[in-house]
Amino acid sequence: MSDSRQGLDLQRIFSPQSVAVIGATTRPESVGRAVFGNVLHYDYTGVVYPVNPKARSIMGVRAYASVLEIPDPVDLAVIIVPSGGVAQVLEECGRKGIKGAIVITAGFKELGGEGVGKEAAVLAAARQSGIPLLGPNCLGIINTDPQVSLNASFSRLMPQPGNIALVSQSGAVGVAALEYAQAERIGLSKFVSVGNKADLNETDFLAYLLDDPQTDVILLYLEDLATPQKFCQLAQASGQRKPILAIKSGRTAAGAQAASSHTGALAGSDAAYDALFAQCGVFRVESLEELFDYAAALATQPLPQGNRTAIVTNAGGLGIMATDAAVRYGLTMAGFQEETTQRLRESLPAAANIHNPVDVLGDANAARYAAALEGVLADPGVDGAIVISTPQLMTNLKEIAAEVTRVAEQHQKPTLVCQMALGEIEETLTILTQGHLPHYHFPEETARALAAMARFARSRRRPRYEVKTFTDVDRPAVQKVINGAKTAGRQFVLEPEAHQIFQAYGFPVLPHRWVHSAADAVRAAEELGFPVALKIVSPDIVHKFEVGGVKVSLHNGAEMSRAYGELLAGVAQARPQAALAGALVQKMAAPGTEMILGMTRDPHFGPLLMIGLGGTLVEIFQDVAFCVAPISEQWAHKMIRELKAFPLLQGFRGEPPADLESIAQCLERLSQLVLDFPEIRELDINPLIVFAQGAAVVDARIFVD
Amino acid sequence: MSDSRQGLDLQRIFSPQSVAVIGATTRPESVGRAVFGNVLHYDYTGVVYPVNPKARSIMGVRAYASVLEIPDPVDLAVIIVPSGGVAQVLEECGRKGIKGAIVITAGFKELGGEGVGKEAAVLAAARQSGIPLLGPNCLGIINTDPQVSLNASFSRLMPQPGNIALVSQSGAVGVAALEYAQAERIGLSKFVSVGNKADLNETDFLAYLLDDPQTDVILLYLEDLATPQKFCQLAQASGQRKPILAIKSGRTAAGAQAASSHTGALAGSDAAYDALFAQCGVFRVESLEELFDYAAALATQPLPQGNRTAIVTNAGGLGIMATDAAVRYGLTMAGFQEETTQRLRESLPAAANIHNPVDVLGDANAARYAAALEGVLADPGVDGAIVISTPQLMTNLKEIAAEVTRVAEQHQKPTLVCQMALGEIEETLTILTQGHLPHYHFPEETARALAAMARFARSRRRPRYEVKTFTDVDRPAVQKVINGAKTAGRQFVLEPEAHQIFQAYGFPVLPHRWVHSAADAVRAAEELGFPVALKIVSPDIVHKFEVGGVKVSLHNGAEMSRAYGELLAGVAQARPQAALAGALVQKMAAPGTEMILGMTRDPHFGPLLMIGLGGTLVEIFQDVAFCVAPISEQWAHKMIRELKAFPLLQGFRGEPPADLESIAQCLERLSQLVLDFPEIRELDINPLIVFAQGAAVVDARIFVD
């Protein structure tokens, strides 16, 4: 839907003055009863009208045979009638002047077959009536804002108000998430189940929630993205002022297959999702636990300025486990200033460990915890703290929780609590919840949550990236080559043509000549200067190495003459039918580090750029990085640094460092090239040889549509 | 302690006929009160005697001034008197004929300083009296066997009886574990807090628990191993008939250790723990959650025959998440037989997904779950099942739990339940617990637990490994070289001597000669056959490459003569003070794959063997595998296969495969060599070049003590 409609439309869905529940019923265990009951019983501040042609009233509320009979204006329709009747109802809603619709009814695209057509009809009816549509096949929405207090869903639960919003592509995952949030005492601002996303999708809701004053953290459960590029632009433009965390399921091939049979979603490549989320600052997680663990911390605590973590514990063993986990998740253990150590020494018993992790001992009372936490949080070398308390003989968890809350409030540093007790801790958790301190069951998950905060803080500190546009490019030259290939009926360009394309876009290509005889080849080599390589050029041969179509390290005219003859003879034998188009004479590159650059075009995401180190070992280690075009200079450098073999490029064991600027620029120019020419379907440069200064495109393939 | 004492001793500690609680008191919040109260109030089937010189009775039970005044025989003493009085009490226990003691009192070795001496005195008193001692500084023990029902600890909880035993080196971690087990309804057979391990340690308790008929799964929380080699032998000898799971904390602290030599730098003692646990079949985990998640499954369900997993869910989204997690943790998604698909098609509604993951839909009742689970468990292509149920509108979780339990019982395949509801599920969990079905909160942890079972089953199916002893070795020759180095006051052997050692132990060494003049060098090269390498030999030079002490690829006598001169001149310039001992002429190795073999001697574990691929990239990727000597042939092959670069050895991209037998045999011979000669402190072969047939030790360093 268009950007201009968004704000208003979703306001009518989340905060309507009046709601019609069409298909409301009193039939036990029905969705129609559950939805109407939820609107009615959770203190909705507007007016709700049940619509049911067969009932005088529903749960004591005057019912209407159709929306058209409701005497007052209606903002929102929640529709639970059988799938065959939905389009008709939407048409009536249009006539009634209704401003938004939630279609909860299932039996559409997710069934395939007839369902696809039914969904198209529903969407057409909504569009015709100008009604933005949530669903079909969804759980509904919840707005906990006390000004509205609307539960227009068939969830069994009404979440506590809070500052975390949840958008779920699966109703059941949504339900599970609501259950979990309630058990963990985590409040929500809004909940949306997006269902089949016939009209409104996650991008629309993301836009709304980024502006929603009740929402500070946005959680997404996704099986696909309806509009990945728009989603990415929106997330990026938000400058990460609100953390966005997403589960994107279907990560593994098996999972993706499962996803495509669910909700009818077509999964894109998982590497593309990874790249896209990373680029637009969305934090991808794997499980509901992670989602809420991180959200609870991000929603309540200040962001850490760095990774330096202090641990305060009343059990040495748990301190060690927390330390292990902290380091594993990328935090560092803070080293305390002498002043802090001195302070801890004075306020803790002699047997306590005054170094990090601070062990306040099994008999620690609240005052001892307070002293230790005060000490470490006051240390300028500490960015965040983990407080672990486990019930020992004299442990008063409630008092400790109160003191920890009091001390944490006085510092602008994140403090996370690991409460390793499971019985009789209701009051303790209430103290922590009211004090806005996130609490966890295990040292490991506590450390993981703090590490996630540090990662988010780091990514938010990154400057905004601007994508550069190179002006020293020759678009017509590239267009001409591509048109030529198309005219010739080829799906790829010849190698000399590929070098023309790269040259036109400012890539460092090696000096080369396209020749058609041995004599030309010798002359070209003399002009270029030996040593040179010689490669067959043929519209019928893509993989020239496989047919013996490449000769390297030719040092003089005699070698070249002989090589030319052998090349033709070899190819004639291997591929007697192949038409030949001469050969490419190319100056040999100096020694350097071999890299691979590539692009594949994802139907969903557009061009996906890839970089990796060349060579056999790297192939085994699968050491590559991806991003979605366009790419900024900073992101290009980030991709290069992400390679596991990056130390090799930095100058390993006395080798000179590789020219990282040149690699980054090749990535940026590649990004521009493939965005400028959608006809380029797939491309790889293998190898790009990188030197201490500069680089060279040695071999390349470009496929066109 | 000696093996013969073990069984009986620990029987007196876990199942005593009578217990004296020395230091029992009624003082509120005291350990002495907590311990005595626990023995008294949890239905101990024997007799308990409080010992307190100042009290007539404790909690209504007749007290004694000392154990010597107790009129009846006493099996076990639980001691909570102040640390200074423990030795004296133990001496009295000895006179009383007591057979086991638990010293709960803290204030010993853990404090350092005086505490160390106090602990030594306590141990001496226990030894003198012939009393096996648990502690000091521990929480105590619990035996839930209804025949005994002894809680001789100051834990707040008495676990439910079960078939899982827990041994914890940290009291607080033990308490946290007991809390967690109770919350998750997991029963325990025995609990032991080993404290400072002055006498009895985890190996003693492992021995006891392996024979304990009440225990089927053994859990360990360790901060170190007191007797690693004995522990390993015991675990190995058990043939994994009972799963042993261990947390070993302090993983990362060890990683931070810097070491001087190459092999040392890559090792670190945590790698030794990893290697040791893997070799003896102990399953290392990282968190208490994992520990109990896996234990709950292993304690109740049959082991899977393979990785092929079926998922049954009433929510598509959760099915996808479970599929992702299953694949991530190494399971595979089962493909159903046509018969199964047909059966599911007949018993499930048309909208259901009858392929894996099976979606029984949101409105599924218990019968539908039963039909689906019956269908997939009956499929011979399914090794285990995950059943997910999340509360939707008409979901009756209790009925589903009952039906799932009934169906699962009829099949010898593991079935794990993911119950994604958190409110009002007490009865449901009771049904699952009584039906011995392990249950989890999230798809991810369910899949992880099933994957852990599959991993354990796989490791248990491995044949027992026998360590080979090579008889074609010449021990005196090696001893002579080592003695020579010692006599000369050297901490390392010269390179020609290293090759003598390797030759004596049957390693494939290259033909070589130790020469002392250019003329000799030329003659030697001619005898060996060109090309050859020339290396300086000096008792003052360990790193000969760094001083220009190596010339390679010498093709004829002239080159050799020149090289000899240059070698001497270069070394004289770089290290003018170095004494020279001639040079080594060595035949050049044919091209092949470069590997590294190494050994460092861990003070705790003995020799730690390492293998990795040579070269720069492998160093960057840290692609090495470790094991503790001795090593069997099968384990040597397992180490080689564990290398990430293993595909390279298998013959990557048309290269011939490397001779894996030769590599394995080098590892086995290395194991024997370093066990035969404890004087070898550190050793590395870098590179070992491996060919399609055979291998060659090219360069090596051996350090001796």
Pairing of β A47-51 and β A57-58: unpaired
Alpha carbon of A468: minimum distance to chain B alpha carbons (Å): 33
DSSP for A386-417, written as a single string? EEEE---TT--HHHHHHHHHHHHHTSSS-EEE
Residue from the list B180, B221, B443 with its beta carbon closest to the beta carbon of A317: B221
Q: Do residue B181 and residue B282 come from a single domain?
A: yes
Sequence-separated (6 or more) residues with CB below 8 Å from residue B55:
B24, B25, B26, B63
pLDDT for the residue numbered B263? 37
Residue B363: which pLDDT band, with cuts at 50, 70 and 90? confident
Secondary structure of residue B384 in the 3-state scheme: strand
CB contact under 8 A, A442 and B288: yes
Test the A interface: residue of B193, B288, B324 with most A CBs within 10 Å: B324
Per-residue burial over A144-165, b if 16 or more Cβ lie within 10 Å, else e, is bbeebbbbbbbbbbbbeebbbb
Residues of B in Cβ contact (< 8 Å) with A34: 393
Pairing of β B244-248 and β B217-222: parallel
Alpha carbon of A362: minimum distance to chain B alpha carbons (Å): 8
| Distance of alpha carbon B299 from alpha carbon B290, whole angstroms | 14
Residues of B in Cβ contact (< 8 Å) with A29: 393-394
Q: Do residue B254 and residue B189 come from a single domain?
A: yes
Residues belonging to chain B: 705
Q: Are B221 and B285 in contact (CB under 8 A)?
A: no
CATH number of the domain bearing residue B600: 3.30.470.20
Alpha carbon of A170: minimum distance to chain B alpha carbons (Å): 5
CB contact under 8 A, A620 and B180: no
Neighbours of B248 (CB within 10 A): 23
Token pair 């989602």: residue = A291
Q: Do residue A309 and residue A385 come from a single domain?
A: yes
Token code pair at residue B690: 């491996």
* Dihedral angle, C-alpha B552, B553, B559, B560, nearest 10 °: 60
Residue from the list B391, B621, B623 with its beta carbon closest to the beta carbon of A156: B391
CB contact under 8 A, B648 and A620: yes
Domain endpoint, select from A409, A431, A458: A458
CATH number of the domain bearing residue B553: 3.30.1490.20
Per-residue burial over B281-294, b if 16 or more Cβ lie within 10 Å, else e, is bbbbbbbbbbbbbb
Test the B interface: residue of A139, A169, A620 with most B CBs within 10 Å: A620
Q: Are B379 and A161 in contact (CB under 8 A)?
A: no
> Average of pLDDT values for B67-80?
97
Residues of A in Cβ contact (< 8 Å) with B620: 644-645, 647-648, 652
More confident of the two residues A51 and B269 = A51
* Cα nearest neighbour of B320 on chain A: A255
Q: Do residue B319 and residue B227 come from a single domain?
A: no
CATH number of the domain bearing residue B212: 3.40.50.261
Residues of B in Cβ contact (< 8 Å) with A156: 391
Q: Do residue B264 and residue B352 come from a single domain?
A: no
Domain-embedded: residue A464: no
Domain-embedded: residue B177: yes
Q: Do residue A77 and residue A175 come from a single domain?
A: yes
Test the A interface: residue of B313, B365, B617 with most A CBs within 10 Å: B617
Sequence-separated (6 or more) residues with CB below 8 Å from residue A558:
none
Domain-embedded: residue A283: yes
Token pair 């044949």: residue = B463
Pairing of β A624-628 and β A606-613: antiparallel
Name residues of chain A where pLDDT drops below 50: 1-6, 262-267
pLDDT for the residue numbered A263? 44
Residue B308: which pLDDT band, with cuts at 50, 70 and 90? very high
pLDDT digits (tens, 9 = 90+) for B333-354: 999 999 999 999 999 998 899 9
Q: Do residue B132 and residue B186 come from a single domain?
A: yes
DSSP secondary-structure letter at A492?
Answer: B
Domain-embedded: residue B700: yes
| Distance of alpha carbon B692 from alpha carbon B649, whole angstroms | 9
Residues of A in Cβ contact (< 8 Å) with B420: 176, 179-180
Task: State the alpha helices, DSSP H only, in A505-543.
Answer: 518-528
pLDDT for the residue numbered B172? 87
- Check pLDDT > 80 for residue B252: no
Test the A interface: residue of B137, B224, B312, B321 with most A CBs within 10 Å: B321
pLDDT digits (tens, 9 = 90+) for B623-668: 889 999 999 999 999 999 999 889 889 987 778 899 999 999 999 9
CB contact under 8 A, B318 and A176: yes
Neighbours of B410 (CB within 10 A): 11
Token code pair at residue B315: 């929510």
Rg over CA atoms, chain A: 32
Q: Are B272 and B231 in contact (CB under 8 A)?
A: no
Alpha carbon of B251: minimum distance to chain A alpha carbons (Å): 6
Token code pair at residue B459: 């490791």
Question: What is the reported pTM?
Answer: 0.89
pLDDT digits (tens, 9 = 90+) for A468-478: 999 999 999 99
Q: Do residue B421 and residue B532 come from a single domain?
A: no
Q: What are phi and psi of A197, to 5 degrees?
A: 55, 40
| Distance of alpha carbon B609 from alpha carbon B595, whole angstroms | 13
ipTM: 0.87
Residue from the list B182, B323, B442 with its beta carbon closest to the beta carbon of A422: B182
CB contact under 8 A, B287 and A444: yes
Per-residue burial over A458-494, b if 16 or more Cβ lie within 10 Å, else e, is eeeeeeebeebeeeeeeeeebeebbeebeeeebebbb
Size of interface A-B (CB pairs under 8 A): 234
Token code pair at residue B267: 């090792």
CB contact under 8 A, B393 and A315: no
Q: Do residue B224 and residue B325 come from a single domain?
A: no
Domain-embedded: residue A35: yes
Query: What residue numbers bound the domain in which B646 lies?
Result: 593-704
pLDDT for the residue numbered A1? 44
Angle, vertex CA A349, rays to CA A347 and CA A351, nearest 5: 140
Residues of B in Cβ contact (< 8 Å) with A155: none
Residues of B in Cβ contact (< 8 Å) with A652: 616, 620
Residues of A in Cβ contact (< 8 Å) with B176: 315, 318, 390, 420-421
Residues of B in Cβ contact (< 8 Å) with A420: 176, 179-180
Nearest C-alpha neighbor of A125 from the set A162, A157, A88, A170: A88
Q: Do residue A600 and residue A621 come from a single domain?
A: yes
Q: Indicate the average pLDDT of chain B.
A: 91
Domain endpoint, select from A238, A263, A296: A296
Domain-embedded: residue B486: no
* Number of domains composing chain B: 4
Token code pair at residue A260: 């495509």
Residues of B in Cβ contact (< 8 Å) with A390: 172, 175-176
Domain-embedded: residue B499: no
Name the helix (H) or strand (E) containing B57. Answer: strand B57-58
CB contact under 8 A, B648 and A255: no
* Cα nearest neighbour of B223 on chain A: A317
Residues of A in Cβ contact (< 8 Å) with B223: 317, 320
Q: Do residue B613 and residue B579 come from a single domain?
A: no
Token code pair at residue A521: 């080849």
Query: For helices B475-487 and B660-676, what crossing angle results, to 10°?
Result: 60
Alpha carbon of A564: minimum distance to chain B alpha carbons (Å): 26
CB contact under 8 A, B422 and A183: yes
Domain endpoint, select from B294, B326, B361: B294
| Distance of alpha carbon A112 from alpha carbon B452, whole angstroms | 37
Domain-embedded: residue A469: no
Residues of A in Cβ contact (< 8 Å) with B172: 314-318, 362, 390, 392
- Check pLDDT > 80 for residue B366: yes
Q: Do residue B631 and residue B686 come from a single domain?
A: yes
